[in-house]
């Protein structure tokens, strides 16, 4: 019983440490209303069956808070401020995917 309690404590501490890194619990998709490439991703998402199976938060970058978060997410993947753009997908594991075709291919490849 003691080992079980210790094991659960370690599991919870590890899980809390990961969350303190600021990783999302789901996918974060950054887009702009004026972006043609974002429109292509949106068209795919509208017809993709997997959209309902994943946690996907869409963040329009005209909001300063969303724009700032996009820059922080990109910097976590060593993408400089000058190279940040949309469409941009940030995964729960902390991976950054940039561009319409890479995002669409990534989503198609998810094993749902």
pLDDT score of 27: 96
* pTM exceeds 0.85 for this model: no
Distance (Å, whole) CA 90 – CA 59: 11
pLDDT score of 3: 62
How would residue 85 be classed by pLDDT, with cut points 50, 70 and 90? very high
Asked if residue 103 lies in contact with residue 39, where contact means CB atoms within 8 angstroms, the answer is no
DSSP class of residue 92 equals T
Q: Is the pLDDT assigned to residue 17 strictly greater than 60?
A: no
* Region of residue 99 (phi > 0: left; psi between -120 and 50: alpha; otherwise: beta): left
Q: Is the pLDDT assigned to residue 67 strictly greater than 70?
A: yes
Distance (Å, whole) CA 73 – CA 96: 8
Residue 9: how many CB atoms within 10 A of its CB? Answer: 10
Asked if residue 102 lies in contact with residue 96, where contact means CB atoms within 8 angstroms, the answer is no
What is the per-residue pLDDT across 18-48, written as a single tens digit (0 to 9) for each?
444 467 789 999 999 999 999 999 999 999 9
What is the per-residue pLDDT across 86-100, written as a single tens digit (0 to 9) for each?
999 999 999 999 999
């Amino acid at each position: 019983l003691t080992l079980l309690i210790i094991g659960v404590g370690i599991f919870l501490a590890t899980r809390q440490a990961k969350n303190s890194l600021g990783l999302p619990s789901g996918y974060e998709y950054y887009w702009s209303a004026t972006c043609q490439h974002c429109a292509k991703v949106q068209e795919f998402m509208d017809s993709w069956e997997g959209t309902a199976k994943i946690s996907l938060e869409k963040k329009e970058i005209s909001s300063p808070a969303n724009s700032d978060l996009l820059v922080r997410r990109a910097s976590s993947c060593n993408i400089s401020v000058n190279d940040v753009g949309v469409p941009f997908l940030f995964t729960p594991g902390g991976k950054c995917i940039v561009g319409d075709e890479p995002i669409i291919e990534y989503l198609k490849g998810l094993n749902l």
